Amino acid sequence: MYHELRKAYQEQGDVESLNKARALLDAQHNISLGDRERLFGFLEGSGRIILPEPKALLTPASKVPGLDGRKMSKSYGNTIFLRDDPVEIERKMRTMPTDPARVRRTDPGDPEKCPVWQFHQLYSADDTKKWVQEGCKTAGIGCIECKRPVIDAVLAEQRPILERAKEFTEDPKTVRSIVANGCEEARAVARETLDEVRLAMGLAYR
């Protein structure tokens, strides 16, 4: 079926045959990614695709800002480390800079000019964001009050990470075993990729 559809597309320009052939390949779960890519290339007459271009896999927030609103960087001293203890995380976040216009508690502010708001956008629900917007602009809430939901959210996110890290810290033998197994699995995948590339380039090693 694949060859018939390929012939219909390449000899007669039948786009529907091309779409059917693509759907046919997409439905095959018993062939490798490399074989599927090669068949796509052969189908469209573009050659064999051995190393498909990787695509970015991002969460809704591709990065977390630093505590001062700039990018989070160790050299800037504006970081929260994955293994910071809860007391240190709370200290760092309570001392985050805020909107410079809010010199006094009674001064209204603008969340868009405040680094804390960037964390609310990552961690807070819509009702909390609305509370922040209204409270900041009307001086209805103070900056410490505004930071509290974000601090709680970050601490909740870090808690399982710290617990997991503690397990590995106390068992270095398991860590070494995981690293060794991972290296061997990576070598196996790399060998397969190199074999495909050499075959495509016509290189044979004796």
Asked whether 37 and 49 are in contact (CB, 8 A), the reply is yes
Q: How far apart are the first and last CA of the chain?
A: 37
5-27 mean pLDDT: 82
Instruction: Among 51-60, 72-81, 85-94, 154-163, name the one with the lowest average pLDDT.
Output: 51-60
Q: Which fold has domain 74-164?
A: Tyrosyl-Transfer RNA Synthetase (1.10.240)
Q: For CA atoms 68, 70, 158, 117, give the dihedral sign.
A: positive
pLDDT tens per residue, range 154-184? 999 999 999 999 999 999 999 999 999 999 9
The pTM assigned to this predicted structure is 0.65
3-state class (DSSP) for residue 60: coil
Question: What is the domain partition of the chain in residue ranges?
Answer: 1-55, 74-164, 171-206
